[in-house]
Amino acid sequence: MALPQRRTDIGPPHYKDFLPPVIQKNYGDWKYHEILNPGVMVHVSNKGEKIWTVRVASPRLLSTDTIREHAALAEKYCGGYIRYTTRHNVEFLVSDEKNIEPLLKDLKDKKYMVGGIGPRISNIVHTQGWVHCHSAACDASGLVKALMDEFADYFTTKSLPNKVRLAVACCTNMCGAVHCSDIALVGIHRKIPIVETDKIKNMCEVPSTIAACPTGAISPDPANKAVKIKEEKCMYCGNCFSVCPALPIADPVNDGVAIVVGGKVGSLRSDPKFSKLAIPYVPNNPPRWPEVTSAVKTILEAYIAGARKHERVGEWVERIGWESFFKATKLPFTFQHIDDFTIARETYRNSAAFKW
Amino acid sequence: MEKEEVKKKIYALIEKSVGKKKLKSSDIQKTISAEAGVTRDEVKAALKDLVDEGALIYTYFGGSFVEIPPKQ
Amino acid sequence: MPKKYQTPLLDELEKGPFPSFVTEIKKAAAKNDMAADELGLLEKSYKTKRGYWKHGGIVGVRGYGGGVIGRYSSLAEEFPNVANFHTVRINSTSAFFYTSKFLNEMCDIWDKYGSGLTNLHGSTGDLVLLGTNTENLEPIFAEFSSRGWDLGGSGSAMRTPSCCVGPARCEWSNIDTLEINYAVTQEFQDEMHRPAFPYKFKFKTAGCAVDCIASIARADCSIIGTWKGKISVDQKEVAAYAKNGMNITEEIVNMCPSQCMSYDGKELKIDDANCVRCMHCIAKMTKALKGTGEKGATILIGSKAPFVIGATLSHVIVPFMKMEAPYDELKDLVRKMWEWWDEHGKNRERIGELIIRRGMREFLEFIGIDPIPQHVKEPRRDPFYFWTEADLQKK
């Protein structure tokens, strides 16, 4: 069968064609919203019109079967309208109040996890991991699944001092908001890349490989038309491998997960913050990474015990001080915690006033 | 300069750099517009033709480049 | 029938309350050879604790330099159906609104030409079709584009812009995030599909400083809605919050970063001149408080993940820009920035890194913006700065 005529440079369709009628009518005219329960909120417009949102969890990696099921549910209860969130949740957009209970019942019967709205753990922003990425130091989907199973109650029912944004990145490329999340995991390497000297000539450009190194550890090896790596300068970031595949760095024995905490993107109460290192290395232990989930639980519980209402993880830690964070969590403080990269001196303590 | 002329110049530039340096679209635009005294937009239009015809392709590995497609 | 693999490790990840990605892969694997081999390969990764994917390449659709990302298994003999298993990025709609009709059509195309596996959505915000063979790429593009859908960005190009839900379903949005997102995407189609930048360039548009799209952390150009007038206070609603148990002094007044609020148990007062518009009070008392007056956006530049010099957050370039269609001021500013980046940027150098390398002065002078205190958290601490001849002539 002949293919339809292709078109280029058309961009995406206009979003108006995908908005429920009640949104089209009240676009830009919303007055307030209320969180009715962890999985349902209602937005009310200045005209008094309403739209209800029912949020459910999603693993982000979806089969067409499941998407068809989303579509069928949207058709049955939402006039066919549905959206996905930046954190990969699914949102059913209900215009008719009487459809909410039947939708919730249907979702429950189909074993969907409803929740994630308000001061809770919402879905985890994450990357491809071993499912589809060349540079993964760990899986991402498996870590997400293990964590969200552990903290499911904080998605569906229990509340926290404020929302806690989790993220997982399977390598230091950080395709995800790991560098600004409340608690985040990032896959790391701990040994330098293997230099496949005879392959470099055909597979890589030497100048761009050298330029990819943030610490100047790579130098030319002109005799072999290849490169050399200075072991004591390499911080195992893996950026060179993304430019030159003849420098593989994946290492099943030494790769693992680092845990960073205290980042946020919103400006509420305090400026956006980077996540900072809490645990430099936890071993890769698939399929359920028990050491990782237990470490995250330790941090989360210390936050719940110590934070004031509305404080994010980073705001809590800054109020009590990092020395108190390590005390409260009983996490060991190591040489790896002291920065020796580009902004090192900004992080040293320049005051004699601190807590014991 | 005629578009066909610009196209020839672009192709020759890329041919010449095979095995030496992979060229980015902006490298080509800068070089050809300086060499041939045409605007960057004219180079861009000629480059677009060459890629649409399949004479050149975009490649990507540690950045995006324009190259001659490999022989099947 | 697709090959059936034993997956004892992955089976462990089908237990528990959170929806399982393994179940998703298995659903597709039951009827699709590619998805079946993906499942087998992933089980192997779980056993050996390493990935088996190779990246980069030359595959794409004719005429475009982006939207398709070549992916190859290094175990092609063992898992032949994922020997090549490329990603196709479809440019999502503004704020990810869809209809069941489109989702069903998308699934029909993807079952026919791909693995049946997707990401809704990828980290940048594309609708990601996860895994297909090289020969399916042109048919997929024809099927989608003939229905009005285009590919997203990849490589050294403008990436698929994304935005928060904005005025479609949020009372806090100061700008039309969906329309800005759509307008930027349409304006720069060539820059998206024919990579000509030093490296990637991302736009993210947030309606307010809550920043639900993480624009300040994840976009080369962050557009964040704000306002210039007062915060209007509905004292009746304030009283209602107090009555419902909110401790307004502790939860609102004491948490205000600029200490510009006071509450005497009856009336909530705001010293608007000292408000930094952080959104805390508005977010917590949405029925009582609203930003009013002139609406627009702050334009910030330069956030990115750690490679190469360490992670950066976007920093203020234009403190306030009116955001009215067709957004010419924004488009002109963007073109100017790109011109400077094109002139000086090295391969794989993001615009934010270039600003750090060459200095804010050169960047601001090129785009025609005068220095103001809002550009910095604090002035420099060192005495080492440049003087131009023109500076010396100034009295």
E-strand spans in chain A?
30-37, 40-45, 50-56, 61-63, 81-84, 90-94, 125-126, 166-169, 183-188, 218-221, 226-229, 256-261, 276-283
pLDDT at position C134, please?
Answer: 96
The side-by-side arrangement of strands in the sheet containing A183-188 is A125-126, A166-169, A183-188, A256-261, A276-283
Instruction: Name the residue of chain B whose CA is nearest to A203's CA.
Output: B61
Which residues of chain A neighbour C292 with C-beta distances below 8 Å?
none
pLDDT at position B24, please?
Answer: 96
3-state secondary structure of A283: strand
Q: How confident is the model at residue B72 (pLDDT cuts 50, 70, 90)?
A: low
Q: Taking a C-beta distance cutoff of 8 angstroms, is the pair C23, C13 a contact?
A: no
Helix-strand-coil split of chain A, %, nearest 5: 35, 20, 45
Q: Taking a C-beta distance cutoff of 8 angstroms, is the pair C183, C161 a contact?
A: no
Angle (deg, nearest 10), helices C328-344 and C360-367 = 130
C334-359: pLDDT as tens digits: 999 999 999 999 999 999 999 999 99
| Residue A287 pLDDT > 70 | yes
Cα angle: A246, vertex A251, A255; to 5 degrees: 130
Over residues A286-313, mean pLDDT: 98
CA distances from C36 to A61, C20, C22, C76, C136 (A): 15, 16, 11, 14, 18
d(CA C107, CA C85): 18
Which residues of chain C neighbour B34 with C-beta distances below 8 Å?
none
Q: Taking a C-beta distance cutoff of 8 angstroms, is the pair A68, C104 a contact?
A: yes
d(CA A254, CA A251): 6
B8-40: pLDDT as tens digits: 999 999 999 998 889 999 999 999 999 999 999
Among the ranges given (A146-150, A291-295, A328-332, A350-354), the one the predictor scored with the smallest mean pLDDT? A350-354
Cα Rg of chain A (Å, integer): 24
Count of other CB atoms within 10 angstroms of residue A186: 27
Which residues of chain A neighbour C189 with C-beta distances below 8 Å?
9-11
| Residue A166 pLDDT > 70 | yes
Candidates B53, B61, B64, partner chain A, best to mutate (most A CBs within 10 A):
B61
d(CA A46, CA A28): 10
Are B64 and C64 within 8 A, CB to CB? no
Strands C203-206 and C221-227: parallel
Are B21 and A212 within 8 A, CB to CB? no
In chain C, CATH 3.30.70.20 covers 231-291
Amino acid at C74: S
**Domains of chain B listed by start with CATH number:** 3-67 (1.10.10.10)
- DSSP secondary structure of B6-63: HHHHHHHHHHHHTTT-PBPHHHHHHHHHHHHT--HHHHHHHHHHHHHHTSSEEEESSS
Question: Cα torsion for C48, C50, C55, C61, to the nearest 10°?
Answer: 60
Give the HSE-up count for residue B68: Cα atoms under 13 Å, Cβ half-sphere.
13
How close B10 comes to chain A (CA, Å)? 22
How close B12 comes to chain C (CA, Å)? 19
Instruction: Name the residue of chain A whose CA is nearest to C187's CA.
Output: A11
Q: Taking a C-beta distance cutoff of 8 angstroms, is the pair A169, A187 a contact?
A: yes
Of C55, C186, C256, the CB nearest to A11: C186
Q: Which two tokens stand for residue A158?
A: 């229990």
3-state secondary structure of A282: strand
d(CA C322, CA C175): 9
Are A4 and C142 within 8 A, CB to CB? yes
| Residue A176 pLDDT > 80 | no
Are A173 and C307 within 8 A, CB to CB? yes
Instruction: Name the residue of chain A whose CA is nearest to B20's CA.
Output: A205
Q: How confident is the model at residue B57 (pLDDT cuts 50, 70, 90)?
A: very high
d(CA A236, CA A250): 10
3-state secondary structure of A187: strand
Domain C162-227+296-394: state its class.
alpha beta
| Residue A86 pLDDT > 70 | yes
Nearest Cα neighbor of A154 from A39, A12, A50 is: A39
| Unique residue bearing structure tokens 């920043």 | C211
What's the CATH architecture for C231-291?
2-Layer Sandwich (3.30)
Q: Taking a C-beta distance cutoff of 8 angstroms, is the pair A174, C311 a contact?
A: yes
Angle (deg, nearest 10), helices C177-187 and C328-344 = 50
Are A208 and B21 within 8 A, CB to CB? no
Size of interface A-C (CB pairs under 8 A): 363
Are C280 and A8 within 8 A, CB to CB? no
d(CA A154, CA A167): 15
% of residues, chain B, pLDDT over 70: 99
Q: Which two tokens stand for residue C114?
A: 């791909």
What is the overall mean pLDDT for chain A?
A: 96
Q: Taking a C-beta distance cutoff of 8 angstroms, is the pair C317, C299 a contact?
A: yes
A87-126: pLDDT as tens digits: 999 999 999 999 999 999 999 999 999 999 999 999 999 9
In chain C, CATH 3.30.70.2500 covers 8-146
3-state secondary structure of A276: strand
Q: Exposed, middle or buried by CB within 10 Å (0-12, 13-18, 19+), for A285?
A: middle
A301-323: pLDDT as tens digits: 999 999 999 999 999 999 999 99
Of A12, A175, A267, the CB nearest to C93: A12
d(CA A248, CA A246): 6
pLDDT at position A115, please?
Answer: 98
Q: What is the pLDDT along chain C (395 residues), one digit of tens a residue?
A: 899 999 999 999 999 999 999 999 999 999 999 999 999 999 999 999 999 999 877 899 999 999 999 999 999 999 999 999 999 999 999 999 999 999 999 999 999 999 999 999 999 999 999 999 999 999 999 999 999 999 999 999 999 999 999 999 999 999 999 999 999 999 999 999 999 999 999 999 999 999 999 999 999 999 999 999 999 999 999 999 999 999 999 999 999 999 999 999 999 999 999 999 999 999 999 999 999 999 999 999 999 998 888 899 999 999 999 999 999 999 999 999 999 999 999 999 999 999 999 999 999 999 999 999 999 999 999 999 999 999 999 87
Which residues of chain B neighbour C157 with C-beta distances below 8 Å?
64
Are A6 and C178 within 8 A, CB to CB? no
CATH of C8-146, one of 3.30.70.20, 3.40.640.10, 3.30.70.2500, 3.40.50.150: 3.30.70.2500
Are C24 and A62 within 8 A, CB to CB? yes
Of B25, B54, B62, the CB nearest to C62: B54
Q: Taking a C-beta distance cutoff of 8 angstroms, is the pair A51, A93 a contact?
A: yes
Partners of chain B (3+ Cβ pairs below 8 A) = A, C
Output phi, psi for A241, to 5 deg: -65, -35
C278-313: pLDDT as tens digits: 999 999 999 999 999 999 999 999 999 988 888 999
Q: H or E segment at A318? A: helix A313-320
Output phi, psi for A115, to 5 deg: 155, -155
Q: Taking a C-beta distance cutoff of 8 angstroms, is the pair A92, A53 a contact?
A: yes
Which residues of chain C neighbour A17 with C-beta distances below 8 Å?
99
Are B61 and A208 within 8 A, CB to CB? no
How close A239 comes to chain C (CA, Å)? 7
A282 DSSP β-pair partners: A257
| Residue A1 pLDDT > 80 | no
How close C64 comes to chain B (CA, Å)? 7
| Unique residue bearing structure tokens 């989930």 | A293
CA distances from C110 to A63, A244, C28 (A): 10, 32, 11
In chain C, CATH 3.30.413.10 covers 162-227+296-394
Are C195 and B58 within 8 A, CB to CB? yes
